[in-house]
Structures are given as structure tokens and as C-alpha cells.
Amino acid sequence: MPIKSLFAAALAMLAGSSALAGPVPIAPAATAFKLGSLRLVALRDMINAVPNDASVFGPQVGVPAVSAVLRQAGAPTDTLPLGVDALLVEMPGHTVLIDTGLGPKVGGSLPKSFAAAGIDPAKVTDVLITHSHGDHVGGLLTADGGLAFPNATIRMAAAEWAFLKSKPDNAALAAAITSKVQTFTPGATVVPGIRSVPLPGHTPGHSGYEITSGKERLLDIGDSAHSAIVSLAKPEWVIAYDTDAKQGMVRREATLAQLAASHERIFAPHFPFPGVGRVVKRGTGYIWQPDLR
């Protein structure tokens, strides 16, 4: 489906919401696809509706510049709907979940998306965290504060665990998951067939995860890019979500260039669901090419 249609579909799903800003509940969804011999499932949690007001996208260039990029892609110019999704990987001896969405306390659909996929959260053996922002770790806990994945080891980069614990707002979360957390150094293989990829800038320990099966690979890019339109067309533009704006920009440009050259498939948790496809070079930037195969 063209990016114009994907964007329009995302906005259509938001049409019934009372406020087109911030996290918006959305119907659960689970889309399975293959990577070599492995079965992967994209799982929907929420949509984050970001107003085009230069507070997040393009703070250094302003609203008109962002609007021009959106208009050229055939997308509405008032709001950028970002997916909040997770990726499940079924592999021998492990059922792996990468990120957990915002969680049920704020209306996340991830538990219902698990049900739609026919997967019991208790069967998850490993939860891999790209970084500790709330839309990636909020679903670690149930609505009443219990462990959403009680039998899973929670894995994240050592720098990211330290960053999570440094935030006072994370005190309850950190206390609940401490006994389950195992940290790793950048570039480590976290489970057989999944290697961590250091992508600092968005947060200090921000990590991608490269999944390999036979000759096929897929990289979960975490928050290396947020908008399937703006982040690709203008990777050099600052995004306010990045902890280190300059490092985030440099890392984004380098990552997108590498992905366009390698043609490796990616999972992008904030791109239009199911967020699986390729980055393709177009002019001075890039475009999104969905590819579930």
C-alpha cells in the first residue's frame, strides 16, 4: 500500500477520537510474517497523534517546511499519526517480544493483540527493550502493577537500564522489574539469532535488534526514525524526542544510508502498522516501502 494510503488509513482510524493529540486507543491487531524459518508477528498497541506544530518534528525549520514535506507525500499536514507497536519473534527455545508499548493503564491494546495472535503472554521468555521511553516500556506492567510477562527475562543495554533508573517517574516500574532485568553491552548477542545493535542518540543506551534466520535478516530500528514520511525525507532534521539531538541526527542519517544500501528489511514500531518494509533512497532523502512478503 502506498505511503499516502497508509497515512490516510491511520488518520481514518483516529477519526472517532475526541482529541487528535497524544496517545489514542486503537483496535488490536496482529500481523504474522516470515523471516527465513521464523514466524514473526507485528502487534499493535496504540497510535500517538502528533500535531504538526514544530514541537516535535522540525523545531529548527518550522511548520511550513514540515507541511511541505507532508503535502508532497500526499499526506494531511495537521497531524502525524505514529504507530506504537511491538514485534514478537517465535524461535526454537524462545518466544521473544521486542518492546511493550504504552501499556493498559493508558488504554494500550497490546494484551488484546496477543489474544488476536493466539499467544499467551506467559509464554514469552525474553522481552528486549530498545529504550526506556514510556511507549516502549509501559506495557511491562499490567493495569494493577503486576508483571505483564511473568516468565520473561527483561533485557536492555546497561546504559539504558541506568538511564531508566535515573528518572524519578520510573521508580515503581524499576522496583517491579529489577529482579527480571539482565543487561548487555552494545553489540552483544542477546538470544541465539538476535544481536543487539547500538544506536545511541535517541537515548544513551538505545539499541536496535537484528534478527537472523538463514540468509535473511531484519532489523528492529526502535526509535531511529519516527515518521515514515518526515524522518525519511529529512533525516537531518532534529526531532525533539531525541535525548541528544545532534547524535540522534547523525545516527539516523548513518542508519538510513546503511539500510538503503543493504536493502535489509526492518521493523519500525512507529511507522504505519504493521511497520515492516525497506528504506529506499529517493533524491536527497529516503522513502518507505512496505514489504511483508
Please list, in sequence order, all residues whose beta carbon lies within 8 angstroms of the beta carbon of residue 277, skipping any fewer than 6 positions away: 265, 266, 268, 271, 288, 289, 290, 291, 292
Asked whether the beta carbons of 112 and 174 are under 8 A apart, the reply is no
The whole model's pTM is what? 0.93
Asked whether the beta carbons of 247 and 204 are under 8 A apart, the reply is no
In the predicted model, is pLDDT for residue 9 greater than 60? no
Q: CATH number for the 3-290 domain, one of 3.40.50.2300, 3.90.70.10, 3.60.15.10, 3.40.50.11540?
A: 3.60.15.10
216-254 per-position pLDDT tens digit: 999 999 999 999 999 999 999 999 999 999 999 999 999
Domain boundaries, the chain: 3-290
What's the average model confidence in pLDDT over 9-28?
Answer: 64
The percent of residues in the chain predicted with pLDDT above 90, rounded, is 92
Grade residue 15 by pLDDT with cuts at 50, 70 and 90: very low
Grade residue 2 by pLDDT with cuts at 50, 70 and 90: low
Q: What pLDDT sits at residue 20?
A: 61
Q: What pLDDT sits at residue 21?
A: 77
The percent of residues in the chain predicted with pLDDT above 70, rounded, is 93
